[in-house]
Amino acid sequence: MTKKQKNNLIRCIVSLVLVVGLSVAFHFAGLPWWVELIAFLIPYYIVGYDVLLKAFKNIRNGQVFDECFLMTIATIGAIATGEYREGVAVMLFYQIGELFQSIAVGKSRKNISDLMDICPEVANVLHDDGSITEEDPDDVEIGSIIVVNPGERVPIDGIIIEGDTSLDTSALTGESVPRAAHPDEEIISGCISLTGMIKVKTTKEFEDSTVSKILELVENSSMRKAKAENFISRFAKYYTPIVCYSALALFVLPPVIRLLLGMPADWLDWLMRALTFLVISCPCAVVISVPLSFFGGIGSASSKGILVKGSNYLEALASTDTIVFDKTGTLTKGVFEVQEIFTNDGVSRDYLLERAANCESASNHPIAESILRAYKKEFGAEIDHNLIYDVEEIAGHGISIKYKQVNDTSVRYKESPDGIEESVDKRSESGEESHFKIYAGNMRLMKKIGAPVTEEHDEGTVVYVAESRLDNNDHIKYIGCIVIADELKETSQEAMTKLSKQGIKTIMLTGDSEKAAALIAEKVGVSQYKSELLPGDKVNEVEKLLSLEQNVSEEKQARNDKKGGKLAFVGDGINDAPVLARADIGIAMGAMGSDAAIEAADIVLMDDDPAKISLAMKISRKTLRIVKQNITFAITVKVLCLLLGALGIANMWIAIFADVGVMVLAVLNATRTLRI
């Protein structure tokens, strides 16, 4: 409990003891009414002075109609009519309900506050002279070397350059098992180094680091309200003044009508009915429990490494019935490795790998990086970028470069039974420069440039390579292809199984060949797949699916059936950002995903685990069920009690239950979102 909560609890206990003691004392001792009034005003003031003060300030500021005003009018009116115990009891139980609400909100905020603790206040910066200074992470520049000691949090994203450790990533991903980290591996801010001292070279500024992005997402999540929250806000805005005027009418109109009919007015009886009506009508249960339910759902998701940018997205996720997946980096690990090299026309494996690596050196695509890793492993050298010029990326096809070659006597090799025979071009013997144009890409690129591919492959992702001599107008020659495979994530199949059980239709979109896509689709178990798509084709496919969803929605509404579902897209790359923004809900991979994808997405999975999507849907659906339960329960009970109060059947004690009791039950129900 906080200090304020403890003080409120003490006030409630003292007030309750005084009310019980005074009730017993005045039951056996016949004292004047004014003595009883003064006595009961003491516990009333102890427990309710802050409510009275807030009501007075709101009236002074022109904000009259709120729960403090309702409680003040109702309790003062009850005391004025001689119902001292009831007046104090209404204020006492209202404060008990507020205490329950405060504790519940505190619990739901705990996950968020724990998340805020992932932000280190200082970074240990290592200087060239070996000295270390503590600096504000905001002041650390890209490329700086920072030291992270055991037990400290990583303040900025970077690459480990020295040291081994195990990382506690639970605050980011919800995963309690430590992860080993070694030199040359990327490390994200917010993790705790558990076992060793490491040196990290920063790759981002603090404001662009993972920890800053997470805090920004959490802080802004409350700004994006769900439809249910907006409804409650509008409901409370009009509901409170309506019930106040209704209570006034209930006090004035029936007695006046009775007088006109020649009957006793019974002003006191109708005043008590109006006051009871006011207590019952307090909208606390709905106004508090609905946002608390969403806040709890978002907090529960964040503790499991699922960042939801707003309650509106949590609400939309509950009605999602179609999820579209990108393949690379989403269902697969996005770590490509060269599996096979197929040469053509007597070209050696080394020659083909060298040509492909020079061409792909201008790209940062995972496929290109895998070829460069294979080149470095094979030759132990880096690409000479001074020999490369006129780089052209052909969207959805591949890449081409112009390549300058000087005095290279290892242009091509062809194998013979007697060993390897050199086949040296004449231009190499003369020492003159030779210029080539090299193409590397998919089969569409080969067809576009007219390269005569002798054999197509479908074992995985295939990079076809062709070249032509520019200095003698040589025709384009196909020299071979490289087969690259991407490993599936361990949880991809589990994710599809769980989503299928939840009635979700799953679709995979990829630029891979038909056979490669079919193989992956069969392994993971998606409902449908589309292959050989260009980056722009993904947007078009999602547009078609959205149109289909809209048509289904209209058909269901015409049949008075439930509203059609929404479509979510899951991706990780820069090219996925437009699709993430276009879908009803965008879900991005937070660990390996690009900044553009994370920025465009509505939900971020911090550990890149696709199985977390089904958990997010479970959280969203349970949260929505709890919200609907609270709204239905609170409004039903209040309407029933309002009718009973207007008819004079419900007394002040029933009013207390209709207000405080319903609020406590609704708040306790809302806290169930924390235990999903």
User: By C-alpha distance, which of 359, 332, 348, 336 is closest to 445?
Assistant: 359
DSSP annotation of 153: B
Pairing type for strands 566-571 and 320-326 reads parallel
3-state secondary structure of 337: strand
DSSP collapsed to 3 states, 611-676: CHHHHHHHHHHHHHHHHHHHHHHHHHHHHHHHHHHHCCCCCHHHHHHHHHHHHHHHHHHHHHHHHC
Distance CA 470, CA 404 (A): 10
Residue pair 185/166 in contact by the 8 Å Cβ criterion? no
CB atoms within 10 A of CB 70: 26
| Side-chain half-sphere CA neighbours of 308 within 13 A | 32
In 344-455 the beta strands, taken as DSSP E runs, fall at 388-394, 398-406, 412-416, 419-423, 433-441
* Rg of the chain over all Cα atoms, to the nearest angstrom: 35
Distance CA 156, CA 119 (A): 9
User: By C-alpha distance, which of 104, 5, 227 is closest to 669?
Assistant: 104
Instruction: Calculate the alpha carbon distances from 34 to 15, 20, 26, 37, 79 in Å.
Output: 19, 18, 12, 5, 11
Structure token pair of residue 231: 């409804």
Residue 326 is among the residues annotated as catalytic for this protein: yes
Residue pair 511/534 in contact by the 8 Å Cβ criterion? yes
Report helix angle 227-260 to 284-302, nearest 10: 170
| Residue 45 one-letter amino acid | Y
- The active-site residue out of 157, 326, 584, 659 is 326
3-state secondary structure of 586: strand
Distance CA 184, CA 283 (A): 58
Residue pair 462/481 in contact by the 8 Å Cβ criterion? yes
Residue pair 671/289 in contact by the 8 Å Cβ criterion? no
Write the CB contacts of 377 (distance below 8 Å, at least 6 apart in sequence): none
Distance CA 32, CA 38 (A): 10
| Residue 43 one-letter amino acid | P
Dihedral sign computed on CA atoms, order 43, 49, 52, 55: negative
Q: What phi and psi values does residue 509 have, to the nearest 5 degrees?
A: -115, 130
Residues in the chain: 676
Question: What pairs with residue 124 in β-bridges?
Answer: 134, 147
CA 358 remoteness from chain centre: 39
User: By C-alpha distance, which of 67, 22, 72 is closest to 49?
Assistant: 72
Active site residues: 326
